[in-house]
Structure 1
Amino acid sequence: MTLSTDKLLASLRWRYATKKFDPARRISEKTWEAIEESLVLTPSSFGLQPWKFIVVNDPGVRANLSGESWRQPQVTAASHYVVLTARTDLNSTDIDAWMERMVETQGSSHEAVAPYKGVIEGFALAMSHEARHAWNVRQVYIALGQLMATAAMLGIDACPMEGLSAVGYDHILGLEGSGYATVVACALGYRAEDDKVAAMPKARFDRSRVISHI
């Protein structure tokens, strides 16, 4: 299955970091299910998926999160709000769980995946705790990119949200001691008709400045 180059570029040029959402418009259940599945399908290093995505539907919780987000209106006005979290560590238990899933879904055996497991452990467990968490955080930004690109393909507006207190989010969402910590969030929905930012030209450097060929 392919998407035409014209359709792809039109969708990416159409998207922008939405500043004002229409609170009356909701993403359909079918569309939202596709967006969630796109998160499940996000690639990650070694396939380890060191994250958890929290879809915050409760208005009260979102109001509290707004207080930890400089009162940015997207938090409460958007149709859906997703908090992307990363594993605070990545240990042998995590790797074992992933190996079990591989055996289950691919009809393999523990013996067959043992060499791959050894490669992962040799790479991941040689890092410090802090380095593993930083590695996990970088993986989360791959998921954020996939989430926003998927939304654009489906005609859904989105706004990545880094202007927040991760510690405050962790407290409100009950993440303290859970093994996960807030990295970034994303508001999704439909732009308000009077969002002036939507009509502003997209400012990007010329291709020659950001892409080189060797």
Structure 2
Amino acid sequence: MNQPRILVVDDEPQIQRFLSVALSAAGFRVQTAETGAQALRLAATGAPDLIVLDLGLPDRDGKDVLRDIRQFSTTPVIVLSARDREAEKIEALDLGADDYVEKPFGIGELTARLRAALRHAAHAAQPAQRIEIDGVAMDFDKRLVTRDGAPIKLTPKEYDLLAVLYRNAGRVVTHRQILAAVWGPAHGEDTQYLRVFIGQLRAKIERDPTAPTIVKTEPGVGYRAAEP
């Protein structure tokens, strides 16, 4: 069984040592980088399956490194950072990060997020034509949504909104990303408009819209569809 290759980019030696040991024990092959320049070189030449990226690097801001990585690679990137402001999270996700984990962190949660990101990348390589979450299935070929086999009637925008979330199941999708994908870049700031549509969508697909299990809110950042 192939071990996924993880590139850990962090300039703190103790974090590097801890993650190298913990992730190796969890079944990953680990490579490390201390600077943005090293990270870009290894991302381009080392063919990692996933990158864990700190934002506070000695030579460059991690967000700039992320922006450069996205110029040539779709490798999943999980930001691991002590920066906990919503604006930092939103900017990193908008730049193409697949997830954002705050320091201090639990290794169990981090490895679970690594596995989820790797599963999503594998699915993205061969886009699924049918995705089911908690009994609600989307058949992309038929453009059909059902719950336990019974059709659910969605408007075209509700369908497109759910499709964006399902295609990114397990990942946070920011307000801006959703609005741009469904309504166009000019609507990137219309978060209240999006909230209304999310409410309408939940009323149709969730067993209990007041306690959603399919479309979950990431406060101040966006939404996340549960893992299939």
Scaled to the shorter chain, the TM-score interval is under 0.3
If you compute each CA radius of gyration, which structure gives the higher value, 1 or 2? 1
* Richer in strand (by share): 2
TM-score (norm 2): 0.22
- The one of the two structures with greater contact order (alpha-carbon pairs below 8 A, sep at least 6) is 1
TM-score (norm 1): 0.23
